[in-house]
Chain A
Amino acid sequence: DVKVTQSSRYLVKRTGEKVFLECVQDMDHENMFWYRQDPGLGLRLIYFSYDVKMKEKGDIPEGYSVSREKKERFSLILESASTNQTSMYLCASSAPGARGNTEAFFGQGTRLTVV
C-alpha cells in the first residue's frame, strides 16, 4: 500500500518561530511537492523537488524554504512563522512517466496554526 506520511496532523507555533514540516514517502518516487490549502483559494503549490537536493519554486514560495537530502524525505521550512501562514499543508509524491508525472499521492495533511 502506497504511503506518504506527514510528521504531524496538528501543530501550533508562535509568531517568529522556525517551523519544520516533514514528509516521508515509501514509493521511491523522484518527485515531491508541498501545497497549502486555504478556504476560497484552493490548493496552491509552494515548492517541489524532482530529485535529491533539487528544488523548484511553485506559485507561492515567499516565506518558505525546502530541503531534500534523501529521496524519501522532503521538508518544508518556515524560517520565521507568521500568522498568515496558518493553513493546511499537504505533501505529495509522484514518479516521472513517459507523458509527464504519473499518479500523485498525498499525505494526511498538517493543520498549522501560528499564534
Chain B
Amino acid sequence: GIQVEQSPPDLILQEGANSTLRCNFSDSVNNLQWFHQNPWGQLINLFYIPSGTKQNGRLSATTVATERYSLLYISSSQTTDSGVYFCAVLGQGAQKLVFGQGTRLTINP
C-alpha cells in the first residue's frame, strides 16, 4: 500500500520563528489532508490539498502531486501552534486515509 513519511519527527522552535513540515508519499493520490492534533487528542482539519497551494492566516500548504510531496508552512509561530501535525493521503482507488507518523512541534515562549 501507499507509504507516507513525514519529516522532521520533532521540531523545537522559539515563538516567532517560521517552520516547514514535509510529507512525502510513495504513489499518486486523490486526496491529501493536513491535521493538527490538539492536546486533548482531536484532529483539527488544516488543509484539504490534493494539489496546488492554499493559505489560511499564518498557515499555508503546497502539494506537488507530480513529485509526491506536500509542505506545511507555519509563520510567526505561537505557543498554541504546539502539538502533532499529521499528513494523511488517499491513494487512487482507495477508500481510507493513510497517515504519516506525524511531526511533533514544540514552540517555546
Q: A42-B102, A100-B90, A103-B33 are in contact. Are A111 and B95 (CB under 8 A)?
A: no
A48 neighbours in B (Cβ, 8 Å): 95-96
Q: In angstroms, how far is the closest chain B Cβ from the Cβ of A97? A: 8
B53 within 8 A of A: no
A99 neighbours in B (Cβ, 8 Å): 30-31, 50
In the complex the two chains form, is A103's CB within 8 Å of B45's CB? yes
Q: 1/0 per position for B20-58, CB-CB distance to A under 8 A?
A: 000000000011010100001111010010100000000
A66 within 8 A of B: no
Q: Which of B33, B45, B92, B99 contacts A42 (CB under 8 A)?
A: B99
21 contacts between A and B (CB under 8 A): A42-B99, A42-B101, A43-B88, A43-B99, A50-B95, A56-B95, A58-B96, A88-B41, A90-B41, A92-B43, A99-B31, A100-B30, A100-B93, A100-B94, A101-B97, A103-B45, A105-B45, A106-B35, A106-B42, A108-B42, A111-B41
The 7 A-B residue pairs with the shortest CB-CB distance, nearest first, are A100-B30, A109-B41, A103-B48, A106-B43, A43-B99, A108-B42, A99-B30
Given contacts A9-B40, A109-B41, 13 further A-B contacts (CB under 8 A): A42-B99, A42-B101, A90-B41, A100-B90, A101-B30, A101-B90, A103-B48, A104-B33, A104-B88, A104-B97, A105-B45, A108-B41, A109-B43
